[in-house]
Chains A and B, each alone.
Chain A
Amino acid sequence: MKFLALCSSDNDNVAYTFDEISLGQKVEIININKVIISTSKIPKYHKIALNDIPQGASIIKNGICIGKAKKDIDMGAHIHVHNISSNRAVLKGER
């Protein structure tokens, strides 16, 4: 079985999964012809890291920044609220 994900633009460092993905699976990023080994469990329609992303770096989707890494993120890891945060409407003292 092939596990699939889709990325929306060339600069993106995340892709969206179309399957439930468990640890250590080969995930084919369909539109950029790249295969990534998952380094965590990833629910369906969630995001997978396309490369290693250092803490503080921007998360790019559709060529647009959707937030920043709260910690170092490994290629193949699940990207979600546990490891990225918004750059907008940030409360004082939290930036």
Chain B
Amino acid sequence: MDTFTGYLRQNGQVGIRNDLLILNLTGLTSKVAERIHQNLNHSKLVSFEYGMGLLNKDKEISQNVFIGLSLNPNVGGVLLVSADQSRTEIVIEQLKKNKKPFRSILLGDVGSDPLEMINTAIKQGAEILKEITEIKKNQFRLEKICLSVECGLSDSTSGLFANPLIGRISDKIISSGGTVIIGETMEWLGVESDLAKRAMSSNVRNQIEKIVLRREKLAIDNGLDLIGINPNPKNIEGGLSTIEEKAIGSSIKAGSSKIEGVLEYGEIPKKSGLWLMDAPSYTPESLTGFASAGSQINLFSTGSGNCYSSDLMPTIRITANPETASRLSHQIDHDCSDLIRDGNFNKAENKLLEDLVSVLNGKLCYGEILGDGSETISRFGEAL
């Protein structure tokens, strides 16, 4: 179970899917991009609906995320749709550097005629699909995998069973030479000193404590009582009483490895190992940050059920709550509720690893089958 079959990219990365990504970079062209997407089977659409006037962090991070999503190994080729030339050129530069197949179309290229733009872009997209679907799959070791881990609408079974189980898979990927990313900074509140102790360097240790305190201060400065937000009403219904309690259960998804460093939202890790992403906790934003960082696959635990899925990263939904597993049998990909009865983590780990490798090899997650997938790029402030 230490190998999988995937698509080798020109830059040496390995995808587990072979998608055409239609990446829309401006609000003006979002409807056009939607219509192009409707006309191209096997395409995925990610749309950023904001235009010029983005400032500072928003400007920098959105640009990095466009690049990150385009370079995600699951993306075989990219069709850039945009009304903004300079924004598009920055992405093109990286696509060229990484030798990823792409086409690009600007609203200005077609005399600002959206119908002409749709027509031309469909043909361009069709060409990319012909090109990228010629690639054959090959066998690779798990070191090529960047796993991201997430939890959403957790209850006590998440922290006691599903997340520790995910933690074991994280350790397995790291020991195989791969990469793991965990995010949701708010959910390290109360365990940040334990995380900091696992940092590779004192610099990283200080950074971990700093980003957690910064986010705690953000809540206080905005006069927010975390109760009802994080933990949210579903968490509370599921038995979670405080952010610290939630954090113990949440952070354990990262396993027990040393922490290489802290990533900015959507940032691509510079090397393998375990990375923390300083990012919002809300699942749609969080998963897109991971996809932008190059994660090919996500393990996503839930307590009461969570129907979200990334569009670019197959998202394996896991629950240890037997009621949720039976109520949402066509939403939950992996039921580990046996753990409540037998506590046999070794058996559960083998079962989850087997399932993970099947998904790496092409088995579809419910999110892929039912088309639940989406991407949401975070915003950080006002625009001009």
Among candidates B219, B239, B303, residue contacting A47 with C-beta atoms closer than 8 Å: B239
- Nearest residue (CB) in B for A63 is B248
Residue in chain B with minimal CB distance to A4: B340
B190 partner residues in chain A, CB cutoff 8 A: 64-66, 87-88
Interface residues of A in 1-52 (CB under 8 A from B): 6, 8, 16, 18, 43, 45-47
Q: Which of A18, A62, A86 contacts B226 (CB 8 A)?
A: A86
The reply to whether A6 and B160 form a contact with Cβ atoms under 8 Å apart is: yes
Interface size class of B (residues with CB under 8 A): 20 to 34
B177 within 8 A of A: no
Interface centre among A61, A79, A84 (most CB of B within 10 A): A61
User: How many residue-residue contacts, CB under 8 A, span A and B?
Assistant: 80
Q: Which B residues are in CB contact (< 8 Å) with A92?
A: 220
Chain A 58-80: CB-based contact to B (< 8 A → 1; otherwise 0): 00011011110000000000011
B243 at the interface (CB under 8 A from A): yes
Contact status A47-B321, CB under 8 Å: no
Interface centre among A6, A66, A87, A92 (most CB of B within 10 A): A66
Known: A18-B340, A62-B248. A89 touches B239 (CB 8 A): no
Contacts of B160 in A (CB 8 A): 6, 8, 16
B169-200 interface mask toward A, CB cutoff 8 Å, 1 = contact, 0 = none? 00000000000000000000111001000000
* Contact partner, B248, options A61, A86, A90, Cβ 8 Å: A61
A89 touches B219 (CB 8 A): yes
Knowing A66-B190, A89-B216, A89-B220, the reply to whether A45 touches B244 (Cβ < 8 A) is no
* Contact between B242 and A84, CB atoms less than 8 A apart: yes
Chain A residues near B155 (CB-CB < 8 A): 45
Bound CA–CA A6/B216 (angstroms): 30
- Interfacial residues, chain A to chain B (CB-CB below 8 A): 6, 8, 16, 18, 43, 45-47, 61-62, 64-67, 79-81, 84-92, 94
